[in-house]
Chains A and B, each alone.
Chain A
Amino acid sequence: MRFTKQIHFSVLSSTNTYLKDNYRSLPNYTVVSADRQTAGRGRFQRTWIDGEDLLLSILLKDDLPTVNIFGLSLVTAAAVHSSLSEIAAPVIKWPNDIILNNKKIAGILIESIICNNRPECLVIGIGVNVNTENYPEDLCEKATSLAIENGKKYSIQELQEKVLEEFSYFYDDFLHGGNLAFLVCRKYSSLIGKEVEINDFKDRQKGVVLDILPNGNILLWLKSGNQEFHSGEITLNANY
């Protein structure tokens, strides 16, 4: 059993922030979950809207070379996708959003603390929309939940156990140099073959996604030629 220390809060500012603030005193593989987050975040400090959902973060203190931490995005996406695939048919939007029926059902935020070029810790944040039945007007076209899609509620605790089990499986494979997570992310990619707009913080340009690569990068066809991206914000039809 990898996740021997699991802490649950009814209310917490952010499960990711809690682990980042306390990583020195907590053991490797500590899991923190919460019923509600008062300051839940997506990437770039975007607010995570939570209802009756799965909100958890995993602390990793393994001695991973910096060059390898990028693979954790694929590991986590594959784990969440596999956890949901028994009850839904989601796809993966490279590489940190899980999409169901063209709406976001789960998001991933991975953060690290790096000193002297080495990660002191990594925090894997996962949010899955489980039993939320209503979203604000500005989000209802972009977000969905298992309850909305399937018309029934699910045990958040059971889903958490499933996510941790799947994470452990893909993470072990990753640690041993395997590429199972990459294969899952490529097979279930929502982007391959789609026209996207990419914003690489300097400018925006349109292109077509050709492939997800084993190193976790995305290969795009652009007017200027095929180009591989390791970073940037992919937008698809301006929905997400």
Chain B
Amino acid sequence: MKIYRVKVNGKLYEVELESVEEKAESRPAEPQPVVQPAPTKEGTVVKAPMQGNIIQVKVATGAHVNKGDVLVVLEAMKLENDIVSPASGIVREVLVSKGQNVANQQPLVIIG
């Protein structure tokens, strides 16, 4: 696993890359690089890792969250996924509500 820094449209991202060949025999599909959400002036945008339905919203605008706190619970294909905060901070904005369908990579919460 190697970590690279990539600048896209002026924003800096850290990307972890690992060899597909090393893991190909032990995984059902190729691993995907991990893109750490880069803090922006507007805060850290937490996005949906998959298409699904929001079944719980655990935070409100203005609340303080610690890294690892559950922000929302996203149900997708019979799995309930706790989407946790990648950083400590204040919830700047909650962009989804209970019962809402969301697309893959749709912004859910902004942490500032």
- A82-118 CB mask vs B (1 if < 8 Å, else 0) is 0000000000000110000000000011111111111
Q: How far is the CA of A201 from the CA of B55 in the complex (A)?
A: 10
- B20-37 CB mask vs A (1 if < 8 Å, else 0) is 000001111111101111
Contact of A73 among B25, B49, B78 (CB under 8 A): B78
Total A-B pairs, Cβ < 8 A: 101
Contact of B99 among A65, A110, A111, A201 (CB under 8 A): A201
Measured CB to CB, the closest approach of chain A to B20, in angstroms, equals: 11
What residues of chain A lie closer than 8 Å to B80, measured between beta carbons? 43-44, 109-112
Q: A11 within 8 Å of B by Cβ?
A: no
Q: B79 within 8 Å of A by Cβ?
A: yes
Q: How far is the CA of A114 from the CA of B68 in the complex (A)?
A: 9
On whether the beta carbons of B29 and A114 are closer than 8 Å, the reply is no
Residues 66-100 (chain B) with a chain A CB within 8 angstroms = 68, 70, 75-86, 99
Measured CB to CB, the closest approach of chain B to A20, in angstroms, equals: 7
Residues 149-197 (chain A) with a chain B CB within 8 angstroms = 174-177
Q: How far is the CA of A96 from the CA of B77 in the complex (A)?
A: 10
On whether the beta carbons of A230 and B82 are closer than 8 Å, the reply is no
* Given known A-B contacts A71-B28, A177-B28, A231-B51, A110 and B78 have beta carbons under 8 A apart: yes
Measured CB to CB, the closest approach of chain B to A183, in angstroms, equals: 15
With CB as the reference atom, state the residue of chain B lying closest to A122. Answer: B79
On whether the beta carbons of A118 and B28 are closer than 8 Å, the reply is no
On whether the beta carbons of A73 and B83 are closer than 8 Å, the reply is no
> How big is chain B's contact interface, by range?
35 or more
On whether the beta carbons of A96 and B84 are closer than 8 Å, the reply is no
On whether the beta carbons of B79 and A116 are closer than 8 Å, the reply is no
What residues of chain A lie closer than 8 Å to B86, measured between beta carbons? 115-116
What residues of chain A lie closer than 8 Å to B49, measured between beta carbons? 66, 114, 117-118
On whether the beta carbons of B81 and A114 are closer than 8 Å, the reply is yes
What residues of chain A lie closer than 8 Å to B101, measured between beta carbons? 200-202
Q: How far is the CA of A177 from the CA of B101 in the complex (A)?
A: 30
Contact of A63 among B25, B28, B31 (CB under 8 A): B31
* Given known A-B contacts A116-B86, A117-B35, A231-B76, A174 and B81 have beta carbons under 8 A apart: no
7 closest Cβ pairs, A-B complex: A117-B49, A177-B28, A112-B81, A96-B78, A111-B80, A113-B82, A70-B77
Q: 20 A–B contact pairs at CB < 8 A? A: A64-B27, A65-B29, A65-B32, A66-B49, A68-B27, A70-B79, A71-B28, A73-B78, A73-B79, A95-B78, A108-B78, A109-B80, A116-B35, A119-B81, A175-B27, A177-B29, A216-B77, A217-B77, A231-B51, A231-B77
Interface residues of B (CB under 8 A from A): 25-32, 34-37, 47, 49-53, 55, 68, 70, 75-86, 99, 101
